[in-house]
Amino acid sequence: MSNIDKYLKELEQVVRELSRADIEAVAERLMQAWRERRQVFILGNGGSAATASHMMNDLNKYVSVPGRRRFRALAITDNLPWLTAVGNDQSYAEVFVEPLQNFLQPGDVVIAISASGNSPNVVRAVEYAQAHGAAVIGLCGRPGGKLAQLADLRVSVPSDRIGQQEDGHLIVNHTLAFALRARLEQEPDA
């Protein structure tokens, strides 16, 4: 078996083992945020930062349904000048907390993405969000670290390979976008 075949076969197994119940719970929480007109903040480092941007795009654009109010999602990873200013002037552990201090309101939702679940800036943002009345959704790998322990809802990608964990996070993102768009088509615009 080639390494390509091995990776893809393992990824197929990871997808089969993703918890549908956990993804369903996240979809319902995001619909609740939409119904309540809450802001959704998304964050992560490295590949997870790219997933945060992708998820913001999908929530704001793909999930938009003509005649319905739109989701309000913001990837706080996407303001590089602010992120680097905080990292330089304060600490990299504060790069996600700082924007939350400006914009987070009680009842908002924070989606934290981290394969390890132990990135100090992600953990710090989760703790800040919860202390200020936000719900936290964690997308993590296995075992999920501190993020899995702290998050109100979580989807853990059942793989020990970081690449497959990141693949899984994108699959979860697209699954959520597909499900949310279908729900929004049926939902009265309140």
Write out pLDDT tens, residues 80-106.
999 999 999 999 999 999 999 999 999
Extract the residue ranges of the chain whose pLDDT is less than 50.
Answer: none
Transcribe 61-109 into DSSP letters: IIT--TTSPPP-EEEGGG-HHHHHHHHHHT-GGGTTHHHHHHH--TT-E
Give dist(CA 25, CA 35) in Å, integer: 15
pLDDT of 190 reads 53
Give dist(CA 170, CA 129) in Å, integer: 23
pLDDT of 189 reads 63
pLDDT of 187 reads 83
Q: Phi first, then psi: what are they for 159, rounded to 5°?
A: -150, 150
How do the domains of the chain map onto residue ranges?
A: 3-186
pLDDT of 142 reads 93
pTM: 0.96
3-186 has which fold? Rossmann fold (3.40.50)
